[in-house]
Every structure is written in C-alpha cells, then in structure tokens.
C-alpha cells in the first residue's frame, strides 16, 4: 500500500489539479482519496489498487464539482438580492483558469520545455472531464481498457471513444499553437 | 502523423517531467497525506483477530441498529400485551370459579341462557 501510494500520489495530485484548478483543493482531494482507499481497501491485493484508487479519486473530484455547483447556486441567489456592484460578477468566473495560479518550478529546465509543459497541461484542463479521465487513466496511469471502464463505471466502448476524442482534441489544439509532438 | 498511443506516449513524457518538478511544499503535503492514510489502513490481519471479529460485527450491525431496536421493541410490546391479556383472562375465570364454588353467583349468571343450559345438562347427568 505504501509503495503504491508513493508511486501514484504525484500523478493523482496533478489529475485533481487538472480537474479542480486549485492547489489546496487538489491536495485535499488526494488526501481524502488516499484515506478512503487505505480505510476501505487496505487489505486488497496490490493488483486491484490502481483501479480502486482511480475510482475513489474520480468520485471525490465529482463530489467537489457537486459541492461547487451548490455553492455557485447560493452565490447566484445571494447576489441577486445584493445591490452592490462589486457582487455582480459572474460566479462562473471562479471556474476560469487564473493565469499563473500555479507555475512549475523548473529552474533547471529550459524555458521552452516548461512553456510546452504548461501549454499541454492547459489543454488537458480544457478537455471535457470524462475524456480527460479516460485519457489520463489509459495513458498516464497505464490502466488497460477494462480497468479504465471499471473505474469510470462505463463500457469499454465509451473508454475508447473518450480516449480517441481526447487525443484528437489535444493534437488539434497543440497544432493550432504550432506544436507538433 | 502520430497514432493515438504514440501521441499519448509523448504527452505522458511531458506530464511526467512536470510531475517530477512539483514543489517541495506540495511533495511534503502529499507525503503527510500518505502517512495519515497508512496509519488508518485496514489490514487483513485485523479481521482475523477477536477485535477484528467484533469490529466486523459492529460494521454489519451498526448500520441497521435503528431498525433492529424498533423490531425488538415491537416484539417485546406484543409479548407484553399477550401476557397481560392472559393474566386478565385467568383472573376473570378465577373469579367466576370462586363464585360458583361459593354458590354466590351474580344474578346476571342466571340470566345467561348458556349457563342455564349448562346447569340443566349437568344436573341431569348427576
């Protein structure tokens, strides 16, 4: 369990960060997911852990979305009663990516490399959630189609479709910025 | 033109580079989260111990505790009412029996046709 968590924690953090776009929230999500996995499935064989952890991680991210939706609804309702001009901002603005909200500490890497990584990460963030989940599980977590489908609670055909669309979207977006991988 | 796995492999390479460059603060937080999780890890050994058995039983029973208490209350209530009725009936019968033995029957007893039929039947037998 210890080795598994150590091997997966950084990628899990990045996955959560792509989804929620806030460092603190992403750390909380990873912590919750690790706790749930250890408490409920601590006795499971190591081979089952990746799929279980991904399922927990994605559910925890979805829980965050649900809470944020409720919060946005209340913000909208409350701002409707408020006369202050400052409060008339669109609550959906909170969902936008803040420029420089986090930057990669790459003092030794080349400027171009860090720029490329930032662009790739931004494009991954822009993917629809299900496409992003499928793509990252398949190709970053090295899970096979059946495992990904089990973790996402969908059919294997859906996983293939999500992955294919995600790849196409990423390739198109990067090409539009003059990047050919 | 890259195939899907080729393209994904290149993306993965860049994502891994970014992951290696995570800040110290974030890495420390992740380490702390991992330690917390491991401290509360469920182990297979715990299930085999006596405490583990108790824990498992509690896990199974506790979610249904309210329903169980309600059912037990209902059963105890029904049993109580039945016992009380039996006592009442026994007391009434005892009262009638003692009145018969003492030849001190209330007037209503003689108005009861069933009682008269029973009386005549028994007196003819005698």
DSSP category for residue B40: T
**Contacts A135 to B, Cβ<8 Å:** 8
Q: Do A34 and B4 touch (CB under 8 A)?
A: no
ipTM, two decimals, is 0.72
Nearest to A179 by CA among A109, A131, A130, A115: A115
A82 touching B, CB under 8 A? no
Separation CA A170–CA A42 (nearest Å): 36
Separation CA A26–CA A111 (nearest Å): 26
Separation CA B46–CA A16 (nearest Å): 32
**What is the residue whose two structure tokens read 């990252």?**
A136
Separation CA A79–CA B12 (nearest Å): 42
Q: For the segment A32-55, what is each residue's pLDDT rounded down to a tens digit?
A: 999 999 999 888 888 889 999 999
pTM for this entry: 0.59
Res. A141: pLDDT tops 70:
yes
Separation CA B56–CA B10 (nearest Å): 47
Q: What is the mean pLDDT of chain B?
A: 80
Q: Do B12 and A140 touch (CB under 8 A)?
A: yes
B25 touching A, CB under 8 A? no
Tokens of B57: 């039983």
**What is the residue whose two structure tokens read 């309600």?**
B70
């Amino acid at each position: 369990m210890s080795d598994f968590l150590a091997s997966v924690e950084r990628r899990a953090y990045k996955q959560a960060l792509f989804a929620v776009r806030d460092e603190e929230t992403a750390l909380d999500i990873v912590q919750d997911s690790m706790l749930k996995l250890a408490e409920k499935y601590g006795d499971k064989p190591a081979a089952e852990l990746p799929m279980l952890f991904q399922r927990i991680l994605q559910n925890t991210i979805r829980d965050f979305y649900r809470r944020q939706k409720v919060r946005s609804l209340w913000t909208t309702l409350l701002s409707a009663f408020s006369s202050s001009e400052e409060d008339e901002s669109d609550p959906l603005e909170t969902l936008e990516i803040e420029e420089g909200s986090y930057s990669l500490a790459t003092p030794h890497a080349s400027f171009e490399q860090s720029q490329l990584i930032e662009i790739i990460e931004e494009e991954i963030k822009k993917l629809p959630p299900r496409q992003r989940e499928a793509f990252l599980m398949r190709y970053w977590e090295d899970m096979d189609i059946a495992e990904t489908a089990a973790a996402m609670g969908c059919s294997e055909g859906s996983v293939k479709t999500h992955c294919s669309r995600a790849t196409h979207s990423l390739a198109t977006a990067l090409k539009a910025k003059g990047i050919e991988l | 033109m890259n195939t899907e796995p080729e393209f994904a492999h290149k993306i993965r390479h860049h994502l891994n580079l970014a992951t290696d460059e995570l800040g110290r603060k974030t890495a420390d937080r992740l380490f702390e989260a991992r330690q917390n999780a491991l401290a509360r890890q469920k182990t297979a050994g715990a299930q085999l111990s006596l405490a583990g058995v108790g824990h498992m039983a509690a896990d199974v029973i506790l979610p249904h505790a309210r329903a169980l208490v309600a059912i037990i209350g209902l059963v105890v209530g029904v049993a109580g009412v039945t016992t009380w009725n039996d006592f009442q009936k026994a007391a009434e019968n005892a009262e009638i029996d003692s009145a018969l033995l003492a030849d001190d029957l209330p007037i209503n007893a003689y108005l009861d046709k069933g009682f008269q039929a029973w009386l005549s039947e028994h007196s003819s037998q005698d």
